[in-house]
Amino acid sequence: MSASLDPLDDDAFDRLLPRYVRSKSRQFWTPATVAAKAARILWDRGCRKILDVGCGPGKFCIIASRLYPGLELHGIEQRPRLFRLGAGLVRRFGFTNIHLARGDATAADWDAYHGFYFFNPFAENVYEDRDRFDSTADLSSLRFARDLLRVDALLSRARIGTVVVTYHGLGGPLPSSYELVEEEQGISAPIRTWVQRTERQTEWVWLEQGRVVTRVSRGEAQRFLNSLVRQAAR
């Protein structure tokens, strides 16, 4: 990457983006200092192959690659325009360790990754229309519930030692097999580090609600998500 682009400078990154994307940067893209902290956590914990779930124009991947070129970074984005924008930036700056794809991140094979980064990527499904990035994605409470049920299943079967870093949470339950091992302040929410400690699941799950982490019964969490599916299907 050009030496003139400071990876910790949000404005410098925003200048790479078209106006329609730049105008929503503060709402949808990870702040640069948070991305740097998350990348450092993943690197220090030995993760080398990382998936950014809902990567947008690739901001987290680009900052992480700039600071830790030994990482192999993968991002999946549902919106074609944002995927093309991110892929163009990867080509422009010659990153060989960033691999972006367009599609549904919950439909991908997560088994190959050592670590995951989530900036509450599913919450847009339940935003008011005026708060969404645009109207091009298929968003609904039905999809919100289905995505979170899939994520719960995918993370439950991840290998021991898998690391998950969340900023503003992941939007839904995190399996009880993960241990909260670190928490540090981000810009507007904590950055939390979770590690898969066991293959055994219990009858409760973790739930991040703002600055608070609580334990709720797995049944309660699944009933809530299933209720969204049923309501959307009516």
Structure tokens at 137: 């994605």
H or E, element range at 147: helix 141-156
Position 7 scores a pLDDT of 73
Q: Which residue would you say has higher pLDDT here, 201 or 112?
A: 112
Q: Which residue would you say has higher pLDDT here, 6 or 5?
A: 6
The single residue listed with the structure tokens 């298929």 is 138
Q: How many residues does the chain have?
A: 234
Mean of pLDDT values over 110-138: 94
Per-residue pLDDT band for 220 (boundaries 50, 70, 90) equals confident
Position 3 scores a pLDDT of 43
Range in 6-10, 54-58, 167-171, 186-190 with the lowest mean pLDDT:
6-10
Position 229 scores a pLDDT of 65
Position 231 scores a pLDDT of 62
Q: Which domains does the chain have, with CATH numbers?
A: 10-233 (3.40.50.150)
Per-residue pLDDT band for 201 (boundaries 50, 70, 90) equals confident
- Judged by DSSP in three states, 13 sits in helix
**pLDDT tens string 72-104:** 999 999 999 999 999 999 999 999 999 999 999
- Judged by DSSP in three states, 107 sits in helix
C-alpha–C-alpha distance, residues 100 and 73, integer Å: 8
Position 1 scores a pLDDT of 45
Q: Which residues, including other chains, have CB under 8 Å from residue 234's CB and lie 6 or more apart?
A: none
* CA neighbor of 213 nearest in space, from 227, 182, 230, 232: 182
Average pLDDT, the chain: 92
C-alpha–C-alpha distance, residues 104 and 195, integer Å: 24
User: Could you tell me if 135 and 129 are in contact, meaning their C-beta atoms sit under 8 angstroms apart?
Assistant: yes
Q: Quick check: 37 pLDDT over 90?
A: yes
Mean of pLDDT values over 37-46: 98
The strand ranges marked E within the chain are 49-53, 72-77, 98-102, 115-118, 163-167, 174-175, 178-185, 190-196, 204-209, 212-217
* CA neighbor of 1 nearest in space, from 78, 81, 62, 45: 62
Structure tokens at 196: 């898969």
User: Could you tell me if 47 and 40 are in contact, meaning their C-beta atoms sit under 8 angstroms apart?
Assistant: no
Position 230 scores a pLDDT of 67
Mean of pLDDT values over 129-141: 93
C-alpha–C-alpha distance, residues 207 and 204, integer Å: 10
C-alpha–C-alpha distance, residues 97 and 115, integer Å: 15
Position 17 scores a pLDDT of 94
